[in-house]
Structure 1
Amino acid sequence: MNFRPTAYGIFRTSEFRTPTNLDVHRSGVEWNDHIRPEEHARWVRWLDELKLLASLRILDTTRPRGHGRRATMIRRMGKSRVTQLRPVSIPRLELQGCLLSARLAATIQSEHKDIKPNKRYFWMDSNTALQWIRSDPRDFKPYVAHRLGEIDELTSASEWRYVPTSLNVADVATREDAPPLQYDDVWFQGPNFLREREGEWPKDLKSSKQLEEAICEQIACLRNNKPLSKDSRLLQLTPYLDDAGLLRVEGRIDKTVGVNESTKRPVILDGKHRITRLLVEHYHRRALHRAQELVVNELRQRYWILQLRPTVRAVAAHCLLCRYRRATPQPQRMGDLPAARLQHNRRPFSFTGVDFFGPMEVTVGRGRQKRYGMLFTCLTIRAVHVEITENLTTDSTIMGLRRMIARRGTPTMIYCDNGTNLRGAHMELKRSIAELDSDALRNDGLVRGIEWKFIPPGAPEMAGAWERMVRTFKSSLRAVLKERAPRPETLSTLMAEVEALVNSRPITYVSVDPNYPEALTPNHFLIGTSSNGPAFD
């Protein structure tokens, strides 16, 4: 059967959409295709029910109030949408229905500009969508945030109320097994609770049902006028249930004037309940994730939370931002030592790190000049050797290296940073080696066979072995150098003494046990003893 002309005519005249149309829509049938027999049977049954609309009369009602001076006008209007073929979660569909309701209310109000309602109520049975509307739209993803933003522009969060699913008359039109609607049905007349006082309307789950789940046993006892058990946590609080079903503390300050009712008789909340944790988390964020006592004091003004301080501490302990703020860097696993630090059976200073420190002023005649310290560190035994240079030029660096080689021997490998002078020394030495190789004196060359290695630029951590010794040497020199600008001879003497002092430091554990061997020092490898004092006979 091709039902296009009939459906098109009904849609154009009455704009009806029913579950029958939805089933055909979801089945994937194209506009010119024939529908299946079962769909055709439902379609014919729906057409028969549609004839009953001829006897249905829906009238606008005006009820006078206050001796005719005020009137209550009842308008009825409905609207529905077809869901997408792509699966969408139920909370998002409920939110889409809330947006449709807000748009419909705005349309009605714009078309009746002479009538301005005092109050508006939007009823829904989705607690998830209700909490979304009461939250900040910026906290959600774009799909939810965009719809919440429009709802916030058209309505107020206080206008949205919760209604149980059993009392939600909007579900009648979505049920396939629903009987034909009559004018006396709740679909047209509205739910019965709207004719009651506002205090008799359905309570919000946010303040009633979820609170009962936390301390349901105590609430059941109070509702049945039974005494609380002796081990109840509420026994000393004199609890009672108010008209809204909330559990409150009965105090002795009811006659206080100018104090809010929530302060005189605060609501009792269980600190372990999820809703209470969310409430404490809200106050924790308002306090900028600090001042727990401030959070305790603010909560204490309006609520009586069982185990208040432990609850506040637990919320702060699980707060992700607070955990990031309190986190301390974990010590990283040290990498393997380089091969130069693990050499054995080699002469001291075979593998050397070099660096400069200074400048230091010296008095020459009546003037002052600058001197620099060129520190060599043995990467194997951690001994130091210092030479004084007049400047940081390449020639001065080569001269200092030659003096060190004359006293300590030729290094196999030299590590250093990327200083310009050291780079120049490396190039000069390469040229010198090339010249000495072609000369008859190459076997007597002092700088032959030295391999230079430069650490990568911007990686000072790779120079820690000699940078630490520079600090140690400078600290010791600062302690013994009393003059601001000593004579060159004085500076040379003090540098040699400090060098001997640094080489006398223990590099192993110093034990007070008489049976423990002597601590090892760099001087043991250089001069055979821990210090350069007189030897014992």
Structure 2
Amino acid sequence: MMQFKLFLQHLWKRNYTWDQSISEEDEKTWKCLIKEWSTNVKELPRCVIHPSEQMQFHVFTDTSSLAYSAAIYVRNYGIQGVKTSLIFAKSRIAPIKGITIPRLELLAIIVGVRAAHFVINQLNLEKVPVTLWSDSKCALHWIHNCSRLLPKFIQNRVEEIRKAKFLFRYIPSKYNPVDIATKGLSSAKLGNYETWWNGPSCKWSRLLRTTAWALKFINSITKGKLSWLHSLSDLQIMPNLPKTRIERTRTFENIGLDYLGPLSIKNETGIVKRWVALFTCFTTRAIHLKLPISKTYVNFEDYVIIRPIDFILPNASLVSQIPYDNDEEEYHLHRLSTKEKFVRYWSNTLKTLDTFWEIWKREYLTSLRERIQREHNSPKGAEVRRPYENEIVLVNEPEIPRGMWKLARIKEIKRGRNGEARNAIIEMPHGKLLSRPINVLYPLEINDNLDNQPPISEESIQEVG
């Protein structure tokens, strides 16, 4: 019927009046259509629904610049195999007013959804699963997109489509059987086109092969689990805090020192490099930055502390307000001028320091003691095997591909106070000895994987059986 609909639209475009005769060319086209229609007969079996068998409904939609169509196929799973049959089809011509192809694809999906609801209600098969296939990725993206920023034309139709609890899937155009219905295929050719009447058989076999390969892949990676690349360590247990971290001491009495740089700085002579010495207090976690001229200990003899404000206002006095929860008189830091003010300032400073230490011991140390996690959250992410001396390992180097990691031999295992292995002395291929944490060393796992596996007991075999 598509050619008749297109011919009728053609007559509308010619603006014929109700009593005006059509042209000879249009009359000849009409007679050819009638002749092909009268000589083409296609017999179809009436029994395509078998309630005793497992069924599925598959809806295919497609669009061209001339029309958009939808076809519904029922797929029966029985003792005799799988059989697919066409049970419903609907086509419409594109509007005379121009509309984009993606929007026509969306209209075709609307036709398919409405047709599927009609077939389900007529056959009383509400529980049969329905899958709608379209070769338009743009239309499928609109359906799966949860954004409300779509144009009104698209948003109204997407909301109607989403009400249907169908599965929406993509199918390539070469497998879509409705593709011929949108191009005005003659009735004679359509009668001999088995894909239209029985669905895309090649698609189902391809899907079956894909599923089989996916299951085979899952089975293969399960068997090859022993060859996965694991680190030599499990989750490291956090050691006890050092004594310098928990004792009450003066600020920066115990420090950690690190260098930052070099940084390129432009001055009147050009671009020079500068380093930054970073001092971290072990107790208060305070940070002090210093600008050394070079990386030698001689530069640490200068004890003048430079604050950021000194670059703008040298020797500035910073005034800050310290809030208190009690009802004492409000206190402000200021320049001292009398003995009473000095004593008052000193006593408030000690009180503030004591308050700080109480808060620090109650909150900071408590948080550091909460070391509950001892293992990985995922059991498959942990490796319980331990490194041993003279073992050949791969050294993790993040900046290069894994295939180019260097081999090394473990010469010595360094252990902490709790007996856990933390570092290892490794020998590189050129003979140089390096110290590396064991979590960056990976075993080759070429010989001892199967030997290190625990034996399977008869009780476990009986439990599985």
TM-score, normalised relative to structure 2: 0.37
| Structure number with bigger Rg | 1
| Greater RCO, CA 8 A, separation 6+ | 2
Higher helix share: 1
